[in-house]
Structure formats: structure tokens, C-alpha cells
A = this chain, B = another copy of it.
Amino acid sequence: MAIILKENVPTIVQGITGHQGSFHAEQMKIFGTNIVGGVTPGKGGTTVKGVPVFNSVSEAIRNTGARASVVFVPAPFAFDSVVEAIDSGLELVTVITEHIPFHDMVKLKLYAKIRGARIIGPNCPGITSVGIAKHGIMPNSIFREGSVGVVSRSGTLTYEIVNTITEAGLGETTVIGIGGDQVVGTNMQEAVSMFEDDERTKAIVVVGEIGGTAEEETAELIKRKVTKPVVAFIAGRSAPPGKRMGHAGAIITGGKGTAQSKVEAFKSAGVAVASSPSEIPKLLKERLKL
């Protein structure tokens, strides 16, 4: 199986007529994702790369039976687009858009809970369940079906690491980029917990970075309930306090969110912490006794 994206659900692209939206709609289709439509208000009736465009999510659902969406609309309109997706009944909304105010995400996350929907992101590469579907912008070429679940706060670093895992002869179940913002729809703890429950996943890779306490809380969770081997990598070990390291969430404030604290938390939970991306497959093989 996989996590979250367990089947190739009919999926729409919100903001499909934009540069990013149209490019990645095509890339997702090439990967094999069941892209059934796109939404851009006012552009209904047109097509983008063979995909029909609708004026609203509910119109798209009525015409295509969509159950999930990937959101590329610009930040000022993202809140409304995600609410529209949730209100219209979509189960899974993957938000690629960056620079959404965290105030909006706090509310969207609570709102998704009321409606029983799941948000991934924002400011994330999305989710790929190898052999099933890809929602987002990860490069199609880096995956290989296998037994490693990857959760990451990063984008390209995820590609780097997944590529390393794949090149080492291992493979992935689901790779989820949860996003680099302060508040994310699906967090590291949830992803690790789902990987633990996923039969096909045999080992878990956690790619963290400085800022916040998600890694520390994940380490607590691992201590408490995770039986599968976990390998972690923390980016930003050499980052000075008080500087925002590119991601909105990657900042050490008030002495909290240091790489040291995260590395120690993971180690005390029995997690193997890699010091470089290339070390990850080695540690995985050790733990999987390959």
C-alpha cells in the first residue's frame, strides 16, 4: 500500500491555467496520475494540455467525479481556493503554493478538521505514492517502488535524498513533502504514524530541519509507538540562531528549534541520524539488514 495517496483518485488542478499549474498537470499525467480536470474561474470550457478547465471546484466535481486537488493558485487566493475545495467535498488537497500567511493556514487546518478533509502543504513538493500517483511537483524520474517511506520538510533536498535511496538500489512506498512553513496541513508526526501503520513500508526516513519542535515531537512519538527502523537527517546544523534559513519555518528563536536539540531527541529515540544525504541509504541498509 502507501500512505494518504493509497489509490489513483480522480484529481483536479486548481490554478491549472498558470505556468506552474499547466506544466505540472502534464508532468503528473505523465507520471500516471488520474488528472481529470482543472479549475480557473472565468476559464471554464477551455482545455489545458488536454485537461478540461472548469469555473469552480463543484462544477469540476459534477463533471469529473474528482476527489482530490493539487493547488497552484497564488498565495492571496489560496485560502479561498482551499476552502472551496474542502466545501465542495474533496478529501485531499495538496497545496504547492508558497508564501501563504500562516494565519490562513491555522484557520484552514482547523477548517479541514471540521470537514474531515486532509491538507498537505503548503509550500511543499506534494506527495508521491510510487506506482500509484503523484500529487505535486516532485521530479518523475527519482522514484523506484520499494519499502522506504520518506517524510520531509524540504523540497529539492527530498529529491536529493530520494534519488540517493533509489540509486542505492532501495525504493520508496510514499514520499511526502510536508512543506517548510510554520504551520502545515499534515505534519511530520502524522506522516510517521501513518508509515508505521502502513504494511508495505519497512523503514522510515525523516528529513527535518531547524525551527519548531516537530522533530522533537516526532522523536517522542517514535519512542512511544514506532517499531520500524527510522533514519533521520536534519538540515541547518550550521545555521546561526535568529536567521530565517530560506523556509519560513526554518528559524531558531528563543533558543528553540536548534539542530542539536533535534539530533539529540532522535538519537534518544533510537533513530539513526545521518550526517549527510549519502549516509542515509547506508543506514537504511544496516537497519533493514540488507
Interface residues of A (CB under 8 A from B): 110, 113-114
Residue of B nearest to A112 (CB): B114
Residue of B nearest to A109 (CB): B114
Q: A110 vs B116: C-alpha distance in the bound complex, in angstroms?
A: 12
Q: Chain B contacts of A113 at CB under 8 A? A: 113-114
Residue of B nearest to A116 (CB): B113
Q: Chain B contacts of A114 at CB under 8 A? A: 110, 113-114
- How many Å from the CB of A26 to the closest CB on chain B? 38
- How many Å from the CB of A249 to the closest CB on chain B? 23
- How many Å from the CB of A275 to the closest CB on chain B? 40
Q: List 4 A-B contacts (CB under 8 A).
A: A110-B114, A113-B113, A113-B114, A114-B114
Q: Chain B contacts of A110 at CB under 8 A? A: 114
Q: A114 vs B106: C-alpha distance in the bound complex, in angstroms?
A: 12
Q: A110 vs B113: C-alpha distance in the bound complex, in angstroms?
A: 10
The 4 closest A-B pairs by CB, nearest first: A113-B114, A110-B114, A114-B114, A113-B113
Residue of B nearest to A113 (CB): B114
Q: A114 vs B110: C-alpha distance in the bound complex, in angstroms?
A: 6
Q: A190 vs B50: C-alpha distance in the bound complex, in angstroms?
A: 45
Q: A113 vs B112: C-alpha distance in the bound complex, in angstroms?
A: 11
- How many Å from the CB of A190 to the closest CB on chain B? 15
Residue of B nearest to A110 (CB): B114
Residue of B nearest to A115 (CB): B113
Q: A123 vs B282: C-alpha distance in the bound complex, in angstroms?
A: 64
Q: A113 vs B114: C-alpha distance in the bound complex, in angstroms?
A: 6
- How many Å from the CB of A158 to the closest CB on chain B? 30
- How many Å from the CB of A88 to the closest CB on chain B? 18
Q: A279 vs B110: C-alpha distance in the bound complex, in angstroms?
A: 47
Q: A113 vs B113: C-alpha distance in the bound complex, in angstroms?
A: 8
Q: A110 vs B111: C-alpha distance in the bound complex, in angstroms?
A: 9
Q: A114 vs B114: C-alpha distance in the bound complex, in angstroms?
A: 5
Q: A110 vs B110: C-alpha distance in the bound complex, in angstroms?
A: 10
- How many Å from the CB of A132 to the closest CB on chain B? 30
Q: A114 vs B109: C-alpha distance in the bound complex, in angstroms?
A: 10
Q: A114 vs B113: C-alpha distance in the bound complex, in angstroms?
A: 6
Q: A199 vs B168: C-alpha distance in the bound complex, in angstroms?
A: 54
